[in-house]
Amino acid sequence: MQKEKLFIEEILSQAGVTINGTRPEDIRVKDDRFYGRVLSDGSLGLGESYMEGWWECGRLDELFYRILKAHLDEKVKVKFADLSSLFLSFVNKQSKSRSRIVADRHYNLGNDLFHSFLDPYNQYSCAYFDGVDDLNSAQVKKLDLICRKMALKQGDRVLDIGCGWGGFARYAAEYYGCRVTAVNIAREQIDYAREFCRSLPVEIVECDYRDIRGTFNKVVSIGMFEHVGRKNYREFMSVVYRCLDDDGIFLLQTIGNNQSFERGDEWIDKYIFPNGQLPSVAWIGQAVEGLFVMEDWHNLGPHYDRTLMAWNENFQRAWPDLRSRHDEKFKRMWEYYLLSCAGAFRARRIQLWQIVFTKRGAHQPTCR
């Protein structure tokens, strides 16, 4: 164990992190099994040992910012990672038969959980802190930014792929006079969205994106593409192409990776977003080649850091009301998820993209 401890201490020192140090970003080890677990299981062991209470950290976001900025995850490899990545390259983890796994295990955890830390429009995606500091205003800024980029106007027929709790659909119908068809496969979100958008020209449809039919002036997908998977990117884009009018506009908002990785973070895959995969610039480019013109590519990555920090603050405040339905291990899992992701955006390891597309020959939108 002493050799393992010395190795971990040496690696973390390269990121300015000290074991049992006094700064907020330092790791305080409470169970010495932590060292062997991290060396044997990498990211998965780090996250699970935190969930079990084997270590503490005053600022998980700063810890992960330092770890990822120093590329420590590339220096401590998980065994068999290359073999598993090769296997994943042949498997469609996001096929239609498997697409509901993430809905059942994450999005159907309970509306009370998500609404405890989200804004009134229930936006479970990056906000836009443009001249504002509070989450609620920043989410409205994001919704309006998307509407303006798509040049929404009264009477537009809008398709919202992966509509969540119906926040964008409601906003577009209320403030831009659009008729929205919003699709989703998560039952709890669907039930809530139908009530949330009642009396508005919004239809909430339980439907896999592959089964969407109809034609629309505008198409939007906000924070859903992360669940599509590389093997399905071309099919997703072909569905959008089929549904979009020749002079229409398509806006895609997605988290993105700086590199094309088949394999994502093991802990996130197991506990938060099973079968998720972050696209790269190259993969998105391949998926739209011959279909769309890329009109605008806007990186809002730093805004996601602020969004996640605001979500965690809200979650911590709401915890006394949530603890009757979720145990302490769940709380540690959720804060680890939110704060580690904030650190990843802060380190510029992952990005948040809003991309505007049109069909070839279409009028160029203003975008921004």
**Which residue of the set 57, 147, 243, 341 is catalytic?**
341
Query: What Cα–Cα distance (Å) separates residue 259 from each residue in 263, 280, 303, 338, 351?
Result: 11, 6, 20, 22, 11
Residue 55 · residue 29 · CB < 8 Å: yes
Residue 112 · residue 322 · CB < 8 Å: yes
CA dihedral in degrees (242, 244, 250, 255; nearest 10)? Answer: -30
Q: Is position 178 annotated as part of the catalytic site?
A: no
Cα–Cα distance, 31 to 1 (Å, whole number): 12
Nearest to 279 by CA among 270, 271, 288: 288
Query: From the CB of residue 185, how many other CB atoms can be counted at a distance below 10 Å?
Result: 21
Nearest to 349 by CA among 78, 67, 59, 47: 67
Q: Which residue intervals of 181-327 are DSSP H helices?
A: 187-196, 233-243, 266-271, 281-288, 301-322
Task: Give catalytic residue positions.
Answer: 341
